[in-house]
Structure 1
Amino acid sequence: MVVAPPSFSAARPEAIVIGAGIAGLATALRLVTGGFAVTLLERHAHTGGKIRTVASSAGPVDAGPTVLTLRHVFDELFACARERLEDHVTLIQQDILARHFWSGGSQLDLYADPEKSADAIAAFAGAKSADQFRRFNNRTTRLFQAFDAPMMQAPAPKMAQLVPHVLRQPDLIPAMAPLSTLRQALRRQFSDPRLAQLFGRYATYVGGAPHLSPAILSLIWQAEAAGVWVVQGGMHRLTEALTKLVQSRGVHLKRDAHVDQIVVKERRAVGVELGDELLSADTVVYAGDPRALATGSMGEDLKIVAPQTAKLPRSFSARVHSFAATPQGPPLAHHNVFFADDPQAEFDDLMAGRIPRDPTLYLCAEDRGQDHPPPTLERFEIISNAPATSTFTPPVDLDRWHHQIMQRMADMGVTMSPTPTAATITTPQRFAEMFPETMGALYGQSPHGLTASLKRPTAQTPIKGLWLAGGGTHPGAGVPMATLSAKHAAEAILSGQTSTSTSAQTAMRGGMSTA
């Protein structure tokens, strides 16, 4: 075993961040800005994690998140390094948040302006439905404002703190509908089942089903209602910009770096093993799915970290189809949703571990919403929910499924030329292979149940010097939430920035042999 010479000193503590997805990049930037010497380790050849691309004849196509919401989270991230987000990426705010399609030709656009959305709903489903939307929008605005500080912005929310917060504002209780699922609440709020189906879809943004997710998840609507931005060139431009920024600040980035284990000595994280190399550090941040720690894949000593993640059900995964083609049919927005005819059947299939027979399809027209006409050959991403899986074995039904979804799109009036092949579909099995111990789940543990959000691991762990960040930790899944998790971890580390260099070096040399 070769022990890398410690480079840290009392004046500049050393941090290792494992995983260069959005959370790892954000953590690295905050720590290096705060005075740490940071090494960022990424097991793949590219940074970005689930913000990734596949090649196409029209250039790289996003195969993960497609838009930016809660922009203030990213403005604050860049500001911590005395930079401006707009100096690193070009953002284009969308007037149309999403365009929705149903069989039979029904179509509805939702807008950044809530009154514009209400007018569109009135034309779509009548004045009564528009009034119902206004009440829904007001209710979810209230919920978002009420729970932003004590839940999302809090590093470790507790039920004992949330209950008094709610009791001081009794009007929150009916807005939360604590005894209802999201589907039940929406069915009471909307007389038109299409609108209940539409807003129930937000449960899938955190990998859940509306009939099993708590009603309070309706506040996810406000993440989009507060503004949707397209990153010019694709979402991967954001992580590319962050990668360049952290490197310019001195972060040492090592790609193709597979971490065998996190080294623990006397219940303290003191470094990581990379093959026959041992890197020492004062602080280690694991910015991957915490289930990898709970299952012991990063070392037996770490099974005490986030043990619930090894037991609780996993969120949904997805089949993601990325390709280039020329579309024909109705005009597309950047965000487009083609709804299943039977919304409950889709979720029944998912909960039974089956690929839905009639899935709702999300289509991102990546070159739309860019303030200029799209090129002839456009980039597209189709996302369909799928169950998580524990196997890496490729599915045998891809060709049949691919034909099914392309036929479904054609039935809704949208065809692609040339017809894409199944070669660029990313499956849950592939996600499981790319992101160890996730079971292919894209959002960590399941959001089902009233207290699911309080069961997520937080940044602090029972191992001293080891911290967590990422979509599998509090405050949850999605690019803004994963970025907030990095803030929670970095602020906790920086607030207790007493140097432990001497003790870390002693532990490394006393606990490991050199070869």
Structure 2
Amino acid sequence: MIRSDRKRISHEPAPTSDRVIIVGAGMAGLSAAVLLAARGLAVTVVEAADHAGGKIRAVPVAGRPVDSGPTVVTMRWAFEELFDDAGTRLDDHLTLRPAEILARHAWSRDERLDLFADPERSAAAIADFAGIAEADRYRDFCDHAARVYRSMEAPFIRGPRPTPIGLSLAGGLSGARDLAAAQPFATLWDALGRRFRDPRLRQLYARYATYCGASPFAAPATLMLIAHVEQSGVWTIDGGMTRLPEAMTAVAASHGAAFRFSTGAETILTDGGRTTGVRLDDGETLRADAVLFCGDVSALGSGLLGEAVRGAATATAPGRRSLSALTLSMVAETDGFPLVRHNVFFGDDYRGEFEDLFRHRRLPHRPTVYLCAQDRDAGDGEGDRTTGPERLFAIINAPATGDTETFEDEETQRCTESATALMARCGLTLAGTPAQRVVTSPADFARRFPGTGGAIYGPAGHGWKAAFERNGAQTRLPGLYLAGGSVHPGPGIAMAALSGRRAAERILTDLTSRNRSRRVAMPGGMSMRSATTGPAD
């Protein structure tokens, strides 16, 4: 259902045929392209890869496409609103199917727990798994997570980059109480320890920190809101996740947006203290009234897009990067474990795993493994079986050191063997050949996303200030804007799409202000102050 409590992009004609160049065709760039093109702006999207989607991609393995990035859609309303603002409907372009089982979790052959979209089914499963008292604590946890989400949605998730004071005042006295109840100064691990007695449930919900590339031992307790996000709906897409960026590209193109794939941006150009366009890696120059950069902000801060824009955004220091990943895209036969669409296998040294990742900056010796069985449906699991080799995608958390470490075969093999042994202890065996497996390391992610070292989620969300330290849509340099997972409001396909919306709104406001000031220019060149000369948001 489309929410009504949000800022809509006007369907009135654009004030001019202003030219906007968008660098990057991930979720943020595509979202902005849809909205700006629908307003009549001349939009050109340049993308170094040969396809749209950013971190959404399909890897061919044994002749079959394996989704090898994000595997589900949450916060569906963000995409419903996007398509609505472009004059169409999400359901006219994609078939999304709700998941009944959110995930199957395993610690051993005899310790398995399913979480469901229906909280009462989850409570019943938890009662069988950990006792009635723990099921009651789970219900309290769900109420708390919903309260945290409500306190954060309007001022943070939907709004421009907030300040701590602005966020606390946004909802008045009740909003301040809700924010305080969210325990922003406590770590997620500590807060969960006060809510659950069973260490396995604490470990399960602590995993939400990794959705932001963070450690649960350093991430704020506000991340409990992710539990509410998942209970509000998790969807798979018929045909695979790549259908989403394909649909967004088609909608933007229908409104006149142009796409240049296999075309990288070499330099963002400036003149007179203002952004003027982009020089492409083939030497061509594209002029523009605004440039929206949707890569990781560290690429700007490290000078990869030119010295003139180095200071336009805050780069992420190597020690503050989020997690990377070691992923395996596979086609294999499985046996011994009742796989559902989404499965998580937990190691027995969770603290040690994150010590390896963030302190020692190495692949974990005893990793947790997420496994997406893509030929299984996301229904109730009954009768959900497949015969023969099936498509699998495994994610193991890894440090973002892809620009300094080569991740030799011996190291990755040790880690994957540890992961395979964990799954075997839980009952799952995999049979396949090396030719039926594609491994992606942090070094591979570092090459795909320059300036990141392989970090997938921008800066790690550690500490209560992390959310306020992300760059906003507007930079210090007039005409240059930012969007994407390293920008407010944060990582994840829906959040990245929302950052694209925020950037599109900022661009429209600034260009409108600029055009009006041009029309009332005074003799001698004085004009009304443009919004682009104001402070960065």
Q: Same fold (TM over 0.5)?
A: yes
Q: Aligned to 2:127, which of 104, 122, 127?
A: 122
Q: Aligned to 1:179, which of 173, 177, 185?
A: 185
Quickly say closer, same or farther: Cα 1:350–1:394, change in 2 above 3 A: closer
| Structure 2 SS opposite 1:209 | coil
Q: 2:352 aligned with 1:345, yes or no? A: yes
Q: 2:21 aligned with 1:16, yes or no? A: yes
Residue 216 of structure 2 aligns to which amino acid in structure 1? P
| Structure 2 SS opposite 1:61 | strand
Aligned to 2:492: 478
CA distance in 2, matches of 1:261, 1:232: 38
| Structure 2 SS opposite 1:264 | strand
Q: Aligned to 1:376, which of 381, 388, 399?
A: 388
Q: Which runs of 5+ in 1 are unaligned?
A: 1-8, 505-515
Residue 391 of structure 2 aligns to which amino acid in structure 1? R
Q: 1:451 Cα deviation (Å)?
A: 1.0
Q: 1:323 Cα deviation (Å)?
A: 1.1
Give CA-to-partner distance per residue, 1:16-72, whole Å, 9 cap, x none: 000011111111111100111110000111211110121022521011100000100
Residue 146 of structure 1 aligns to which amino acid in structure 2? S
Q: Aligned to 1:314, which of 316, 321, 332?
A: 321
Q: Which runs of 5+ in 2 are unaligned?
A: 1-13, 519-537
Q: Do the aligned partners of 2:50 and 2:262 also contact (CA within 8 Å) in 1?
A: yes
Q: Do the aligned partners of 1:296 and 1:302 also contact (CA within 8 Å) in 2?
A: yes
Q: Do the aligned partners of 2:116 and 2:122 also contact (CA within 8 Å) in 1?
A: yes
| Structure 1 SS opposite 2:29 | helix
Aligned to 1:425: 439
CA distance in 2, matches of 1:406, 1:50: 25
TM-score (norm 1): 0.92
Aligned to 2:114: 109
Q: Aligned to 2:206, which of 176, 181, 200?
A: 200
Q: 2:459 aligned with 1:445, yes or no? A: yes
Q: 1:321 Cα deviation (Å)?
A: 0.6
Give CA-to-partner distance per residue, 1:239-276, whole Å, 9 cap, x none: 12222222232211111112110001122111000132
Q: Do the aligned partners of 1:44 and 1:257 also contact (CA within 8 Å) in 2?
A: yes
Q: Aligned to 1:132, which of 131, 137, 141?
A: 137
Aligned to 2:533: none
Quickly say closer, same or farther: Cα 1:415–1:59, change in 2 above 3 A: same
CA distance in 2, matches of 1:10, 1:277: 28
Q: Which moved more, 1:16-25 or 1:306-315?
A: 306-315
CA distance in 1, matches of 2:450, 2:186: 34
Q: Aligned to 2:503, which of 456, 470, 489?
A: 489
Q: 1:178 Cα deviation (Å)?
A: 3.3
CA distance in 1, matches of 2:268, 2:179: 43
Q: Aligned to 1:156, which of 161, 167, 170?
A: 161
Q: 2:223 aligned with 1:217, yes or no? A: yes
Aligned to 1:508: none
Q: Aligned to 1:354, which of 351, 362, 384?
A: 362
Aligned to 1:37: 42
Quickly say closer, same or farther: Cα 1:438–1:308, change in 2 above 3 A: closer
Q: 1:413 Cα deviation (Å)?
A: 1.0
CA distance in 1, matches of 2:354, 2:152: 28
Aligned to 2:252: 246
Aligned to 2:236: 230
Aligned residue-pair number:
496
Task: State the identity as a percent.
Answer: 44
TM-score (norm 2): 0.88
Quickly say closer, same or farther: Cα 1:483–1:420, change in 2 above 3 A: same
Q: Do the aligned partners of 1:69 and 1:227 also contact (CA within 8 Å) in 2?
A: yes
Aligned to 2:8: none
Q: RMSD in angstroms over aligned alpha carbons?
A: 2.1
Q: 1:343 Cα deviation (Å)?
A: 1.0
CA distance in 1, matches of 2:123, 2:366: 29
Quickly say closer, same or farther: Cα 1:245–1:29, change in 2 above 3 A: same
CA distance in 1, matches of 2:316, 2:49: 24
CA distance in 1, matches of 2:514, 2:276: 10
Residue 160 of structure 1 aligns to which amino acid in structure 2? I
Q: Which moved more, 1:169-178 or 1:468-477?
A: 169-178
Q: Do the aligned partners of 1:23 and 1:486 also contact (CA within 8 Å) in 2?
A: yes
| Structure 2 SS opposite 1:28 | helix
